Structure 1
């Protein structure tokens, strides 16, 4: 049995990748299962391995008695002394059992136990091994495909590459080499499931660590990676050491490193750019390969910015179907609006800039007084602004000077829109109405009357207190007053 067992142990260790300790435990469980099937119990079964683990024996532990009641757990003194001349009643003796004595049912039960134990041990062993590798790159080979899911041979186990984790650029054939990221390892009734991915951003990070030693040793660090799998990836990197060029380290001499990464991604475009703490500089870098002339922060709280580029750079900055600017937005976590220089010149962003400054210094009240254009009104409908511009009205002052008839004749604007605009003006703009000066002659007459009234002074005939022409009683003594007027000839 020694030769057979040692050969079995060798095969299990080498072919199944099991540890010798687990194999020995499986053999022990197998013998115990066969023993129980034959004798109905394992309480008195003893398994012993040789020092070199090349031999194994199973024993039945029995107690020496005068009268035999249970032949499984007891033995008579006469039988015991045939095995050990010094045996006495009450002693326990080990009797070796030849596995060949087990019947077919016991052997079959042992085999099933062994197979099940080996499967469980393999499952646990592989789970522990691959669970520790989540987030790492692994290489396998295309095995088969079903409903878009690719099954990858990983050697000891089989991995799956779901359709959603496959790059749209890539096409696989049987036995193709596949490099992928382990993203999930689960253990279920059907066995071990290892989920792979080639679309995760962490896949790009892992490739960078393999190809760029400075990233692996943390000389260069990755700030953030954003990706549209199969189309474009943007990577922001930085280094705490001033003498190190983080972008140059990732690109490599003559672009060798970045070309290797692009090749692994099947030709996907990769932008390596420098991370900056200044949002203006970071936004400029994020819109690469386009050249940005200037970046204006419109609203820092809402993280809104305007990037100005040359007319020839607009399509490059925005990218096909807006991909470049969309990835830049995700990379910097700002809402970036891209405009050309000519578009910028026609824009009225002065009010936005002034508002930002006013909010910064807590001068929002003063800001409201400075509103002059209709477009500057908070909450104004852009459609109404455009319609008014088509009617030649841009400033609030011009709108307020319109008569009711002129308001009704405005093209394309409903009475409800006019009413809403007037409400916004009342709420946000302080309208100062200046009184028109009186005509010259009228003003002179008013001045003459005033001066004449100031010159004429009267006294009460009773107490001498000062009185005026409009009084009917003296305010001091209460006597009644009356004035006689002489008609002018």
Structure 2
């Protein structure tokens, strides 16, 4: 062993990608294996590394014994021979006798080499496995090396990555030496060695590209809620901002679209829809169908997550997309079952009264969430029987019902106490009573009998000017609900 030993260690480190300690441990294992194969035991073998430039030596540790023909030359040395090596030694001492590797049996050396190579492969595989296992989900750059049965083998420097056909985009085509950016999808130990599976089709791959191109995503100002993708065709990305002053969609698009254009180029021209996430499923579904114009969204069944989207006739094909791609991706993005219809198609459907009412509001341009309903029959959850009973009592308007006292409500013909409680609950859950100044009725005059006796106070309805009295809760002419603010008029006597 000479100073070339250090160069050998460095070369093995570079080729195998393992540490110096592991290389030295493998060399030691090789020498001890050759020693054992030659001498039948390795119990007295000692390997010493003489510094980075000094190489390595192997010694046999032998016990000094009296001169005797029966001594064991492998583990013992006669005193006369020991004195030639060290004049101060005596019987019972131990000496380290250096062994020249050239004295090893040739077969022993070949066997040890084979074992050392195997050890290096195992060490290399374990080292690379530990290194790349921690990088699953991260981006990596390699170079096209070769292709076999559609699988691309990528040179990653220390090792080789595998880009299976199923994880490739159908848009992409590679040639020898082409640069490939991919995501590490899986790392496993196979029968043929370490397998590093790469991907360019996963949604996480698109997310990593966004993190590289959009600083707001990298620092957490803008977060990606979900990504769905048909590799090579279309990707939908739902984003939201953790700060009110940052537009998440605008941050991803960039000034004049420079950021999104860079991402599209990386994906070889794949169409990307960036939309804003919203916790309201109606708004989220509407956003998810971009770039189609949505006229309205109706939740058919919240538990089954079924929704109906109504679009203008000319927008139907855009909303559905080529071969249903747009609505299919929207389904996966919002995790709802979305059915897209035009207004004409919807009118032919047999759905619930409530859904029909909401759709009617959509077509008339009224936001159903802001609509003010007036009729009792429009209240949610009220049965047809209760509507009929109230109508028989002359009560069809919500305002009329709300202004009834508890005694008046309980006294209506055909209503049980259970019905009264149900009506109160429906009103509490669905009706917001707002008193506005223009709906307040103010006393306009006080009529006094000439004989000195008071007659009934007379008022005017604020809507139709019909004469009304203080005991009325609704106007008999127009049906408007009434509430009274009485202005006291002090009678002044002329002196």
TM-score, normalised on structure 2? Answer: 0.70
Query: Which residue is 1:60 aligned to?
Result: 60
Equivalent position to 2:177, from 175, 178, 181: 175
What SS class does the counterpart of residue 3 from structure 2 fall into? helix
Query: Which residue is 2:395 aligned to?
Result: none
- Residues of 2 paired with 1:40 and 1:264: CA distance? 62
Query: Which residue is 1:100 aligned to?
Result: 102
The 5 A counterparts of 1:26-37 are 26-37=26-37
The 5 A counterparts of 1:464-475 are none
Shift of residue 96 of structure 1? 1.0
The 5 A counterparts of 1:382-461 are none
Equivalent position to 2:146, from 144, 150, 159: 144
Q: Is the 8 A contact 1:355 1:367 kept in 2?
A: no
Contiguous gaps of at least 5 residues in structure 1: 371-489
- Residues of 1 paired with 2:109 and 2:384: CA distance? 93
Equivalent position to 2:163, from 145, 154, 161: 161
What SS class does the counterpart of residue 117 from structure 1 fall into? helix
Shift of residue 113 of structure 1? 2.4
Higher relative helix content = 1
What SS class does the counterpart of residue 199 from structure 1 fall into? coil
CA 1:339–1:189 in structure 2 vs 1: closer, same or farther (change >3 Å)?
closer
Q: Is the 8 A contact 1:59 1:97 kept in 2?
A: yes
Larger radius of gyration: 1
Q: Is the 8 A contact 2:144 2:178 kept in 1?
A: yes
Shift of residue 342 of structure 1? 3.1
Q: Is the 8 A contact 2:167 2:200 kept in 1?
A: yes
* Worse overlay, 105-114 or 71-80: 105-114
Q: Is the 8 A contact 1:222 1:237 kept in 2?
A: yes
Query: Which residue is 2:320 aligned to?
Result: 318
Shift of residue 300 of structure 1? 1.4
Query: Which residue is 1:252 aligned to?
Result: 254
Q: Is the 8 A contact 2:2 2:55 kept in 1?
A: yes
Contiguous gaps of at least 5 residues in structure 2: 359-367, 369-375, 388-495
Query: Which residue is 1:49 aligned to?
Result: 49
Query: Which residue is 2:199 aligned to?
Result: 197
The one-character-per-residue Cα deviations of 1:334-381 (angstroms, maximum 9, x if unpaired) are: 1111122333344454525389999xx9958x36999xxxxxxxxxxx
What SS class does the counterpart of residue 146 from structure 2 fall into? strand
- Residues of 1 paired with 2:219 and 2:54: CA distance? 47
Query: Which residue is 2:74 aligned to?
Result: 72
Query: Which residue is 1:39 aligned to?
Result: 39
Q: Is the 8 A contact 1:274 1:282 kept in 2?
A: yes
- Residues of 1 paired with 2:275 and 2:84: CA distance? 88
The one-character-per-residue Cα deviations of 1:378-399 (angstroms, maximum 9, x if unpaired) are: xxxxxxxxxxxxxxxxxxxxxx
Alignment of 1:208 onto 2:210: yes
Q: CA RMSD in A?
A: 2.4
- Residues of 1 paired with 2:311 and 2:10: CA distance? 70
How many aligned positions are there?
A: 368
Equivalent position to 2:331, from 322, 329, 334: 329
Shift of residue 329 of structure 1? 0.9
- Residues of 1 paired with 2:351 and 2:149: CA distance? 53
Query: Which residue is 2:298 aligned to?
Result: 296
Shift of residue 184 of structure 1? 1.1
- Residues of 1 paired with 2:302 and 2:384: CA distance? 17
The one-character-per-residue Cα deviations of 1:245-286 (angstroms, maximum 9, x if unpaired) are: 111111111111111111111111100000001111111100
Query: Which residue is 2:237 aligned to?
Result: 235
Q: Is the 8 A contact 2:71 2:78 kept in 1?
A: no
Q: Is the 8 A contact 2:13 2:23 kept in 1?
A: yes
Query: Which residue is 1:114 aligned to?
Result: 116
